[in-house]
């Protein structure tokens, strides 16, 4: 009887063993490149099809890197860029920061503005005295009322042409002929802007819609130009002192604009500030305490104008009525690039 029971047990175990072998074979069949087992035709494709997923990665909009403080301890927020046009949408087109550029004099503060050129349109407006003298139509001499819905910022331009000869071209009008070898902010028909060492002759070509010159390049190739060492080449200063309020305009390696204003600057130290901000090329704009100004706006229609550069000689709504000198305005870029508002 005991023998018969053992035989019955063997008969029951045989089907179970066969089932176990089948399971092991299926598992080995599904392992790729590990067991040496060859998959049947179409199996890899079937598995790849059933396991494929699509991942979409959104690249965040570029923002300029924070400016590394050189004075220790750093002040709260020093060197951090802050958007100034949240009302106009995201990402910000106008960002500002302040930092102290001179570790030997922590009282000096530089005021920097970064302008995203892909989402903005730059405009240049004559004032009632600059550029001048000229009998040509000076246009509105302020931000046109019809254009204020999309106004983001305004800032000072360069010297009077009587003080520093240079070209001035806007609104299809050549107010003063261009001069080869001078630093020039240029806007093209596609809306792009650049700061260049002008070599295009006295008249801009058909692709240029705006060009404004002022002295020679301050920065070229991420470095201060040798000319910055010659203090007398960079304007007559108030009281004859070399270090005064100075402003400059640069362009970074992504084609965005950089505006800076700072007190107690020579041409050489202003150039170093622009290099620290990432300028590839840059030009000096106006100098001396009266003229530095950059205004941001709190909403459509140029509401709530605010002076970013704290200048007691200027007022926030300076460019909303007739201006003495020419100035720049920054607008939201329209879906189709159009001539600047006039």
Percentages of the chain per state (helix, strand, coil), in multiples of 5: 20, 25, 50
- The helix/strand/coil state of 276 is helix
Question: Same domain for 248 and 147?
Answer: yes
Examine residue 225 and state whether it is found in any structural domain, yes or no: yes
Question: Same domain for 194 and 293?
Answer: yes
Question: Same domain for 282 and 167?
Answer: yes
- The answer to whether 296 and 305 have CB atoms below 8 angstroms apart is yes
Tokens of 25: 């074979």
Examine residue 159 and state whether it is found in any structural domain, yes or no: yes
One-character DSSP codes across 13-60: HHHHHHHHHHHHHHHHHT--SSS-PPPPTTHHHHHHHHH------PPP
What residue numbers bound the domain in which 219 lies? 82-332
Question: Same domain for 242 and 327?
Answer: yes
- The answer to whether 152 and 331 have CB atoms below 8 angstroms apart is yes
Verify cis geometry, omega within 30 degrees of 0, for the bond prior to 337.
no
Question: Same domain for 117 and 227?
Answer: yes
Instruction: Output the pLDDT for position 53.
Output: 61
Question: Same domain for 24 and 114?
Answer: no
Examine residue 89 and state whether it is found in any structural domain, yes or no: yes
Question: Same domain for 6 and 151?
Answer: no
Examine residue 42 and state whether it is found in any structural domain, yes or no: no
pLDDT in tens, the chain (342 residues): 444 444 444 444 334 444 333 333 433 434 344 434 444 444 444 444 445 566 667 788 999 999 999 999 999 999 999 999 999 988 999 999 999 999 999 999 999 999 999 999 999 999 999 998 889 999 999 999 999 999 999 999 999 999 999 999 999 999 999 999 999 999 999 999 999 999 999 999 999 999 999 999 999 999 999 999 998 999 999 999 999 999 999 999 999 999 999 999 999 999 999 999 999 999 999 999 999 999 999 999 999 999 999 999 999 999 999 999 999 999 999 987 778 889
How many domains does the chain contain in total? 2
Question: Same domain for 10 and 116?
Answer: no
Tokens of 138: 């000076």
Residue whose entry in the numeric block shows the structure tokens 């203090």:
231
Question: Same domain for 156 and 221?
Answer: yes
Question: Same domain for 12 and 130?
Answer: no
Examine residue 337 and state whether it is found in any structural domain, yes or no: no
Q: Chain-centre distance of CA 251, in angstroms? A: 8
Examine residue 162 and state whether it is found in any structural domain, yes or no: yes
Question: Same domain for 295 and 156?
Answer: yes
Examine residue 76 and state whether it is found in any structural domain, yes or no: no
CA gap 94, 114 in Å, rounded: 6
Question: Same domain for 98 and 23?
Answer: no
Examine residue 339 and state whether it is found in any structural domain, yes or no: no
């Amino acid at each position: 009887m005991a023998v018969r029971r053992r035989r019955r047990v063997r008969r029951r175990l045989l089907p179970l063993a066969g089932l176990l072998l089948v399971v092991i074979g299926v598992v080995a069949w599904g392992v790729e490149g590990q067991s040496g087992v060859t998959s049947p035709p179409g199996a890899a494709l079937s598995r790849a099809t059933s396991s494929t997923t699509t991942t979409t990665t959104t690249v965040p909009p570029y923002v300029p890197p924070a400016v590394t403080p050189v004075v220790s301890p750093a002040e709260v927020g020093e060197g951090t860029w802050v958007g100034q046009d949240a009302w106009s949408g995201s990402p910000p087109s106008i960002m500002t920061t302040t930092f102290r550029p001179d570790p030997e004099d922590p009282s000096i503060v530089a005021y920097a503005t970064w302008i995203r050129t892909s989402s903005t349109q730059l405009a240049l407006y004559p004032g009632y005295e600059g550029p001048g003298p000229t009998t040509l139509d000076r246009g509105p001499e302020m931000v046109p009322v019809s254009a204020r819905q999309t106004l983001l910022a305004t800032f000072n331009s360069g010297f009077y042409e009587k003080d520093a000869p240079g070209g001035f071209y806007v609104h299809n009008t050549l107010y003063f002929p261009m001069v080869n070898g001078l630093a020039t902010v240029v806007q093209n028909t596609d809306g792009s802007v650049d700061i260049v060492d002008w070599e295009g002759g006295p008249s801009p070509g058909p692709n240029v819609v705006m060009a404004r010159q002022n002295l020679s390049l301050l920065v070229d190739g991420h470095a201060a130009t040798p000319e910055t060492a010659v203090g007398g080449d960079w304007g007559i200063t108030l009281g004859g002192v070399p270090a005064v309020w100075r402003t400059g305009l640069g362009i970074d390696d992504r084609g965005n604009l950089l505006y800076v204003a700072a007190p107690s600057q020579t041409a050489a130290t202003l150039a170093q500030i622009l290099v620290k901000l990432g300028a590839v090329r840059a030009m000096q704009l106006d100098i001396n305490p009266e003229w530095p100004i950059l205004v941001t706006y709190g909403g459509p229609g140029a509401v709530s104008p605010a002076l970013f550069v704290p200048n007691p000689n200027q007022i926030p709504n300076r460019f909303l009525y007739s201006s003495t000198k020419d100035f720049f305005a920054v607008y939201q870029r329209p879906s189709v690039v159009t001539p600047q508002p006039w």
